[in-house]
């Protein structure tokens, strides 16, 4: 598991090892790693799991700028909280959420996530104990959460080290450009291609995002609906 560098010294050691072994295994990726610099992956505390899923839903199919604007208006509905709780979202009328710029479809997703969390049928605390594919199955119980969103959660929230979001458009484009492919690789082709990056595919994915258009932060791009 990848630990938050601010709280656990093992994170930096792990990432150094991952970068070293990826560079040895793939000379092309090694060039990108040198260009981008140190990897900045980490994970959130367990009480941030609900927040991560809410943000993932809000960001779906939007540019980062548009999503950040909606997220700010959404959070402003709950001024007494650092971030809205499941109970708070469940009690908020849909009209208020729509006024914050959230689509009716995403409102239904947020309500579903909140209700499942409140009634105990979606226990987020146990997610960190599950294997990767079990995490995906567990999260996909919620409306609006598919495999891509679950993979983002595993990489950026749980800190799982070996996840390759093969349907991510940003990664597909980066691989096509970096490796001189004539066509965009399919998810299946990318899964096969990414075997060379095991067991550090999350780190490889971060570098592929970070190297896209010189974006050192790395911005995942969900598959088209």
**Residues labelled catalytic:** 168
Burial class (CB in 10 A: 0-12, 13-18, 19+), 152: buried
State the chain's maximal CA–CA distance in angstroms: 54
DSSP H helices, 46-91, are 49-59, 64-76, 86-91
Q: Cα 63 to chain center, whole Å?
A: 15
Please state, in angstroms and rounded to a whole number, the distance separating the CA atoms of residues 116 and 111. Answer: 9
Q: How long is the chain?
A: 225
Residue with tokens 């960190």: 128
Phi-psi sector, 131: left (phi>0), alpha (psi -120 to 50), beta? beta
Residue with tokens 């959230």: 102
> Is the Cβ–Cβ distance between 97 and 107 less than 8 Å?
yes
User: Per the structure block, which two tokens stand in for 162?
Assistant: 């070996």
Which residues, other chains included, contact 138 with Cβ-Cβ below 8 Å and sequence gap of 6+?
122, 127, 130
């Amino acid at each position: 598991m990848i630990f938050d560098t601010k709280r656990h010294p093992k994170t930096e050691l792990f990432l150094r090892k991952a970068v070293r072994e990826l560079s040895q295994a793939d000379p092309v990726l090694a060039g990108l790693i040198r260009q981008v610099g140190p990897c900045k992956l980490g994970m959130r505390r367990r009480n941030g799991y609900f927040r991560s899923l809410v943000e993932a839903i809000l960001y779906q199919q939007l540019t980062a700028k548009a999503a950040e604007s909606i997220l700010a208006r959404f959070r402003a509905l709950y001024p007494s909280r650092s971030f809205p709780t499941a109970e708070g979202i469940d009690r908020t009328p849909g009209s208020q959420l729509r006024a914050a710029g959230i689509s009716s479809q995403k409102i239904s997703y947020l309500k579903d996530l909140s209700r499942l969390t409140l009634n105990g049928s979606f226990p987020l605390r146990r997610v960190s104990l599950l294997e990767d594919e079990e995490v995906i199955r567990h999260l996909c119980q919620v409306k609006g959460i598919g495999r891509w969103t679950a993979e983002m959660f595993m990489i950026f929230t749980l800190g799982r080290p070996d996840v390759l979001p093969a349907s991510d458009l940003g990664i597909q484009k980066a691989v096509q450009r970096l490796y001189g492919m004539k066509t965009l690789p399919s998810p299946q082709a990318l899964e096969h291609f990414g075997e060379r990056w095991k067991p550090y595919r999350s780190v490889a994915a971060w570098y592929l995002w970070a190297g896209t258009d010189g974006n050192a932060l790395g911005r995942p791009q969900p598959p088209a609906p």
